[in-house]
Structures are given as C-alpha cells and as structure tokens.
Amino acid sequence: MPRVEKEDQESMAMKLLSVQNSPVECEFYVCKWDKQVWGRLNVPKHSFILWMAIQDKLKTKVRLFKFKVIDEEVCGLCNIHKENVEHLFFHCSFSHVCLQVLKTWLGWNVRAEDLQSLIRWIERSKQSQFKKKVLAAALVYHLWRARNDEVLKISSSSQEVIIRRTKEAVKLRVSCAMPRKVSSEDKNWFAEL
Ligand SMILES: [Zn+2]
C-alpha cells in the first residue's frame, strides 16, 4: 500500500477516534478492528462509512432532522420507519434482504443483526484471520452500498442487482489484494464463493 494512502487512513482513523465517547469502546475498536477495517482488503472510502456508522456520525435523516436540516426523518428506502444507522443498514426491508443473502453466501452463521454485535461476532469467532477479513470486507461493502442506495433512492426491485454487485466487488477486491499467507483450505473456500 502506498505510504501516503496508509498515512491518510491512519490520520482519518485517529480523527474519528478522537471524538469517541467511551474509552472502553475506543480501546476495543482500536485493538480489535483496526486491521480488519483499514486492511488492504477494504477500499478506504468504504471503511470510512463503517467508522462513521460505529460512532453514529453518519448523516442519517434522524440526525439531520434533529439538527433541523430536514423536516422529516422517514427512511428513503422503505418510507416507513425512522432512518437511523441500525435501521438503514440492518432493519430496513431493503438492506435486510441483502445482508441475509451475504451472510448465507459467506457461511456467516450468526443471528446478531446490529452493527456492534456483528463486529464482535466476527472478531471473536474461531475462524482464520483471512476469513475474518473477508467477512469484514463484506460488511464494510454492505454498509457502503446501503448508504449509497439510500442516497440514490434505489427501489427494492434492484435487490438482486445490488447483491450480485456486492458479491462481485468483494471477490474482485479480495482477489486483487490476496494476502501472501493464506492456507490452501481458505483459498479453496474463497475460490468456491
Ligand atoms: Zn427503511
């Protein structure tokens, strides 16, 4: 990775961490998630969305409404519920379907359906570091897509396309940035995805 790009990532991460409220949570994310989130399997701009979501700093409608920037806080994808981070990425009918398909695709056998629980599950699960990084990459890309889908107001009829693009993006990124030390078992697992 180019030196400048890595320094940009690190300074961005530190800026974000400087506004973190809880020292315990801050320590947890720095120690446990730094490598997965800012690792080479993730595109930096996608990782940035995860960092913002973790800290509830994304400009969701609930936040914009709170600061009187807009006059309604209903999710732009389902037009039913309030649009906060958990809803947008996990509970909205649109992104929920996409996440479920991704979880099945990767053998991501966990019932947790909120950001903190998924992060903890990936970190604590007894899987290889490579698999954890692929799961993290998929989570990061899912968040990125869900965010863009909301901004672009993509209809639910596009879910199949979104899922296919997400899979392709994860496969392409991981293939291009494949770590040197990956077991043959992990390589086979990835090749069969
Ligand atoms: Zn929604």
DSSP bridge pairs for 74: 82
pLDDT at 81: 92
pLDDT at 103: 86
Local confidence band at 36 (pLDDT 50, 70, 90 cut-offs):
low
CA of 74 to the centre of ligand 1 (A): 8
Local confidence band at 27 (pLDDT 50, 70, 90 cut-offs):
very low
What distance in Å separates the CA atoms of residue 54 and residue 49, rounded to the nearest whole number?
Answer: 9
Residues 6+ apart with CB under 8 A from 129: none
CA of 90 to the centre of ligand 1 (A): 9
Give me the half-sphere count of Cα atoms (radius 13 Å) on the Cβ side of residue 150.
Answer: 26
pLDDT tens figures, 123-172: 788 888 788 888 877 877 777 777 777 777 765 557 788 788 888 888 88
pLDDT at 156: 54
CA of 151 to the centre of ligand 1 (A): 12
Of residues 161 and 8, which shows the higher confidence score?
A: 161
Q: What's the mean pLDDT in 175-191?
A: 87
CA of 2 to the centre of ligand 1 (A): 38
Q: Which residues surround ligand 1, an ion (CB under 5 A)?
A: 75, 77-78, 92
pLDDT at 140: 77
Burial 152-178 (b: 16+ CB within 10 A, else e): eebeeeebeebbeebbebbeebbeeee
* Domain positions in the chain: 3-180
